[in-house]
Structure 1
Amino acid sequence: MIRRSSIVTLIVCATLCFSSAALAASTFSGYVDLRYRYEYQHHFNLKAYGEQPAKGESCDGFWLQRLRIGGSWRANDWLTVAVGMQDSRVFDSDLDADSYFYNKRLDHQKNPYEDQWELYQTYLELKPFQEHDLTLRIGRQSICYGDNRIFGPGNWGNSGSYHWDAAKLSWHSGDHFIDLLWGAHIIHEPEQFSLRHRHENYGGGFYSHAQISDDWAIEPFYVIKYDEHGSFSAESGTDDLVCHSLGSRVTGLIGPMILDATLVGQWGHFGEDDLRAWGAHFGLGHCFKHVPWQPTIKVDYCYASGDRDPDDGTRQTFLGVFGARDSMYGRINLFSWSNLHEVQATVMAKPRKHLKLTMELHRFWLAAKQDGWSLSSKTYRDKTGKSGSHVGDELDLIVQWQLPALRPVKGEKISIRAGYSRFWPGEFAKNVADNVAADWVFAQIQYSYRF
C-alpha cells in the first residue's frame, strides 16, 4: 500500500516540476500565501461555553499556521491546468484533537485547525465551446458567490470550511452568469490524504446572477445537500439527509443606502423527520465617502428558523447551506445560521489608506426557544422553552493594516490583523451553560505573493 507521505512527496515533486516548466511560458501564474495567527480563547471553545465547558478546555492559547502554494498554466485557449497544495497546522493548543475533533457520524476527525498537505485548487478548466461562453471546471476547487452566505470557502478557519471536489459548468455573458454545480466537500482529517476517505456532504444545483440595472442585481439559486450514510438522528428515527434550498439574493441602492437581502426556503428530510425550514438576511448600509476616515455604517438582521415542537416528527431547524460564517454571526463564532435571530450594527472607518478599523455590536436570540443553541444544539437545549430565548450580546473590535511594500515587487502583500471580542451571556446561556463572560483575542500576519 502506498503511504500517505509518499503520495504527498510525489504531488509536491510533480507541482515543482510543473511549475518550473510552466514558468518559462507567459501563460503561467502562481501564488504563495503564508499566514500565522495567535488566538486566545477565554471561557469558551469551538464546541462549548463557560468556565467548566461540557467538552474541551475553558481557556486556550495557540498558534495557527497555514501555507498555500500553487499555480495555473493556460496551455491554450480552451485548457487551463491548476495545481495547488495547502498545509495547515496548530501549535500549543491544549485540546486533545483525537477526542475533541472526532466526529462519530463521519468516523474521522473533522479538524478546523489542522490538515497537513492537502490538495488545494487543483483542477482542469475547459472551454470547448468558447462561442457560447461556456467553461467547465473539474477537480478540487473553492466555490463562493455574493456575500459567501450560500456558498463560501470559510477562509478564516485554518483548514477552510469548504474545499470541494466538484464539476462546475459556467455560462457568462457580460455581468450575467449561471453556474451548474455537482460535487462534495472534503473532511479535514489531519493525517489522512482526502482521496483516501469519504466526503462529508454531497451537493449540487445552480447559482446565478442577473444584472437588472446599473444599481440592482438578483441572484436566484437552488441547492441540494444530501448524505446517504443513514447517520442522521431525528425525532422519528435515524436515516439519510436530503435538504433542498431554494431562494435568491437581491442587492441594490435605495437612495444613498446599499441594500443586501437573501431569502431561502428549505424542505426534504432529516433522518426520518420531514424538513421544513427557512432563513433570511436583510442589510442596509451607507459609506460617507466625503467625510474624513470615510466611515461606513451598516445594520443587519439575520433569521434562521428553529424547531418549536421536539416531538411532532417535523424538523423546522434551518440547516444553512454551504456558506461561511467568518464575520456574519459574531467574530467569536459561537453561532451559525441556525435557530437564530440576530441584530448587528457595524461601523467601519479608514484613518489611513491601508488602515481599516471595524466595530461590531451583536445581539442574539433563539428563533425557537424550545430548540438548541447552534454552538452545540444537543448540549445547550431546553425543550420546555423555560430557559428563555436571549442567548447573549457580543462586541467585536478589529484593526487591519496593509504594510508598506518591503521591495518593489508587483503582487506582493503583507497584512496585519488584530482583534478583541467579548460575549456577555443572556438569560438562555446563563440557564443552560454559564453566567461568565467570554473573551477572544487574536493577532495575525499574512504574506501573499501573486506572480
Structure 2
Amino acid sequence: MKKVIKKVLPLLLLASSLYAEFDYDGQVRLRYESFDNMNEKYYGTKPALGEAHDSYLMSRIQLGLIYNFNDNWNAKISMQDARVFDWGFSSDDWYNKEFEQVHSTQSDFFELHETFLQYKDKNVVVTAGRQKITYGDLRVFGPGEWKNSGKWIWDAIKVSLRDGDNFVDFFYGAMMLHDPDQFSLNHRHGYYGAGMYGHYVYKKNAAIEPILAYKLNDKRGGLYDSLENYYAGARAYDTDLYNWFYDMTYIKSFGDKTKLDYEKVSINGVGIHADGGYNFKSIDTKLGLGYTYASGDDPNTKDDETFDSVFGASDKYYGRLNLMQWVNLKDYELFAIYEPNKKTSIKLEYHKFYADEPTNKWLSYTISTMQDDHYGDEIDIFGTYKYSQNIDLLLGVGYFMSGGYIKEAMKTRSDISDENAFGLVAQFTYSF
C-alpha cells in the first residue's frame, strides 16, 4: 500500500495545484446478491469451491479527476476500489490457468482505473492510456461492469474518426488483470488485442456496424502454449421499423492455437445473435424473441471450433444468473420489456439453454462423456428505476430449472447436483 501511495500522491498534489482547470466524476455502487444452489464456478449443493448458499455485499467506489488543458486536450486520472464482504470465495480461488496468476472478477483494492491523455476536435479523437473500450450493445466490445472489478479495461491507444453520427474507431492495447494484492503497474497484462469498429447510420434509429478484432496471448500458460485469434463480422439494428425492432450480430473467429504439446490447431468458430419483436406503444411494452449461438469444439475434428465472447460483456444477455456465456451455447429467449415512463424499465425474460457440444466446458466442468445438451431453463425479472439524476436503483430475481445435461453430469461428478437455483439482486448506484 505504501508503494501505491508514493506513486499516486504526486499526481494528486499536481491535480490540486491546478484545481481551477479541473473537473471530476465518480460513482459509488453497492449491490447485495444472494444465490441458492449455485455460485460463480459451480452448480448445485456440493460445490468444490465457494458456498452453495451464498449472500454477500459488493462495494465499488470510483473517483476521477479530469484536467482540461484547452478545448482540444484533456487528461484524466481515476482510482477504483472494489470489494466483496462475506463472500464464499478468496482471492486465491481466482487463480487463472490461462494467465498463470490471480484474475478476480469481483475484487480489486485501490487500483488505478481510467487514466489517459486525450486529444479531440470535431472529427478526430485520440485517447492514450488506461480506458474502457465499448461499442454497440456491448456484446462484442464491452467493459463487463456487472462484475464488481470490471471484466475488461485496457492500457491502449484508440483513434476515432467521426463524421456526425457516423464513426470508425481503431485501437491497440492490452487488457489489465485484476489482482487485489498487486497494484496493476507491477504485474503483467493478459491478452493483447486490436480492433476496428464502425458505425454507419443509414436512417433514423438504424445502423450498420462492421467489426474486426484481434486477440493474442503468446505467453505459455496452463491451458495452451499460445493463442492468436482473429474476428470479423458485423451488427445491424433498427429500433423502430413501423413499431417493429430487430438487432443482429454475426462474428466469425479464425486463427491458430498451439497446444501445450506444441501441436498447432486452427481456430474456426462462429458467434450469432438475433432478436426482434414489436413495440406496443399504447401499453408501453415491447415483446420479442431472441436466439444466440456460439459454436463449441467438435471432438471429432482437429480444428478448435470454440467461439468465445471476443472482448464483450456476458452479464446481462444469457440469463441474469450468469450461468451461461457466449461460448458453446444455444439460447432461445422470449422477453417482454415494460417502460411506463422514462425512469422505469422492467424486463421479464425466459431462456432455454443448450450446449452446442456437450463435451465442452461449462462453468468449471468439462465432462468428455456428456451426451445430453439441455443445460436447463431460466426465468428472470429485473427492474430499474432512476430515482434522481444521480441515483439509480435495480432489483431483480432469477430462477433456473436444471435440465438433462445437469442430471446426466451429476452421475459423473460429485460436485454437481440437480436442484434448481435461485438468485436475488438489489443494487444502489450514485453517480456524480
TM-score range, shorter chain: over 0.9
1:336 paired to 2:325: yes
Contact 1:172/1:178 (CA < 8 Å) preserved in 2?
yes
Give the 3-state SS of the residue equivalent to 2:42 in structure 1.
Answer: coil
Shift of 1:443: 1.3
Cα distance change of structure 1 residues 270 and 59 upon mapping to structure 2, 3 Å threshold? farther
Counterpart-to-counterpart distance in 1, 2:206 and 2:136: 13
Structure 1 residue aligned with 2:101 = 108
State the match for 2:115 in structure 1.
Answer: 122
- The AA in structure 2 aligned to 1:222 is L
Query: Counterparts of 2:18 and 2:279 in 1: how far apart (Å)?
Result: 43
Per-residue CA deviations over 1:315-358 (Å, capped at 9, x if unaligned) read 11112200001210111111110110001122122345523222
Could you tell me which of 256, 278, 282 is aligned with 1:290? 282
Secondary structure at 1:329 match in 2: coil
Partner of 2:401: 424
Decide which moves more: 187-196 or 428-437. 428-437
Give me the whole-angstrom Cα distance separating, in 2, the residues matched to 1:353 and 1:210.
27
Residue correspondence of structure 1 range 185-334 to structure 2 within 5 A: 185-231=175-221, 233=223, 238-252=224-238, 253-271=240-258, 272-291=264-283, 294-309=284-299, 312-334=301-323
Q: CA deviation at 1:362?
A: 0.8
Specify the SS of the correspondent of 2:408.
helix
Residue 63 in 1 paired to residue 57 in 2?
A: yes
CA contact (8 A) 2:202 2:208 kept: yes
Q: Which runs of 5+ in 1 are unaligned?
A: 405-411
CA distance in 1, matches of 2:13, 2:114: 15
Structure 1 residues 78, 42: CA separation in 2 closer, same or farther (over 3 Å shift)?
A: same
CA separation in 1, counterparts of 2:66 and 2:203? 34
For the Cα contact (< 8 Å) 1:32–1:68, is it kept in 2? yes
For the structure 1 residues 21 and 441, does the alpha-carbon distance in structure 2 shift closer, same or farther, using more than 3 Å as the test? Answer: same
Q: Which residue of 2 aligns with 1:85?
A: 79
Amino acid of the structure 2 residue aligned with 1:125: Q
Q: 2:153 aligns with which of 136, 146, 163?
A: 163
Deviations 1:81-101 (A, max 9, x none): 111111101111122332x11
Which residue in 1 is equivalent to 2:386?
402
1:443 paired residue number: 426
User: How far 1:256 sits from its partner (Å)?
Assistant: 2.1
Moved more, 141-150 or 344-353: 344-353
1:240-288 deviations in whole A, cap 9, x for unaligned? Answer: 0011000000112543211110001011122332111101000113333
Tell me if the contact between 1:308 and 1:369 (Cα under 8 Å) persists in the aligned partners: no
Whether 1:434 aligns to 2:402 is: no
Amino acid at match of 1:50: G
Matched, 1:134 2:121: no
Aligned to 1:360: 349
Say which SS state the counterpart of residue 371 (structure 1) adopts.
coil
Report the residue type matching 1:190 in the other structure.
P
Q: Deviations over 1:162-221 (max 9, x none)?
A: 011000011001111111110011111001011111111110021111122335311111
| Cα distance change of structure 1 residues 354 and 33 upon mapping to structure 2, 3 Å threshold | same
Task: Give the TM-score normalised by structure 1.
Answer: 0.88
In structure 1, give the amino acid aligned to 2:228: V
Name the TM-score, length of structure 2 as normaliser: 0.92
> What is the letter of the counterpart of residue 266 of structure 1?
S
Alignment of 1:24-103 (within 5 A): 24-25=20-21, 28-98=22-92, 100-103=93-96
Letter in 2 for 1:106: F
Query: Which deviations, in whole Å up to 9, do the C-alpha atoms of 1:278-328 show, x marking residues without a partner?
Result: 01000113333332xx1122221100011122x532111112200001210
For the Cα contact (< 8 Å) 2:331–2:354, is it kept in 1? yes
* 8 Å Cα contact 2:32-2:427 kept in structure 1: yes
Q: In angstroms, what is the RMSD of aligned CA positions?
A: 1.9
**Cα–Cα, structure 1 residues 442 and 80, in superposed 2: closer, same or farther, change >3 Å?**
same
SS in 2 for 1:148: coil
3-state SS, counterpart of residue 290 of structure 1 = helix
User: Displacement of 1:11 after TM fit?
Assistant: 1.5
1:3-18 mapped onto 2 (5 Å cutoff): 4-8=1-5, 10-12=7-9, 14-15=11-12, 17-18=14-15
Tell me how far 1:158 sits from its aligned partner.
0.5
Q: Say if 2:337 is the partner of 1:348.
A: yes
| Alpha-carbon distance between aligned partners in 1 of 2:369 and 2:161, rounded to the nearest angstrom | 50
1:441 to partner: Cα distance: 1.0
Q: Structure 1's 341 and 16: CA in aligned 2 closer, same or farther, altered over 3 A? A: farther
- The answer for unaligned runs of 5 or more in structure 2 is 259-263, 410-415
Contact map agreement 2:97 2:222 (CA 8 A) in 1 = no
Q: Which moved more, 1:136-145 or 1:312-321?
A: 312-321
Q: Which residue matches 1:152? A: 142
User: How many residues in Structure 1 have an aligned counterpart in Structure 2?
Assistant: 420
| 3-state secondary structure, aligned to 1:49 | coil
**Structure 1 CA distance for aligned equivalents of residues 202 and 405 of structure 2:** 44
Matches of 1:74 and 1:89 in 2, distance apart?
31
Q: Kindly tell me: are residues 96 and 364 of structure 1, through their superposed partners in 2, closer, same or farther at Cα, counting changes over 3 Å?
A: same
Structure 2 Cα separation of the partners of residues 124 and 353 of structure 1: 35
Distance in 1, matches of 2:424 and 2:13, equals 37
* Identity score, percent: 34
Distance 1:138 1:421 in 2: 40
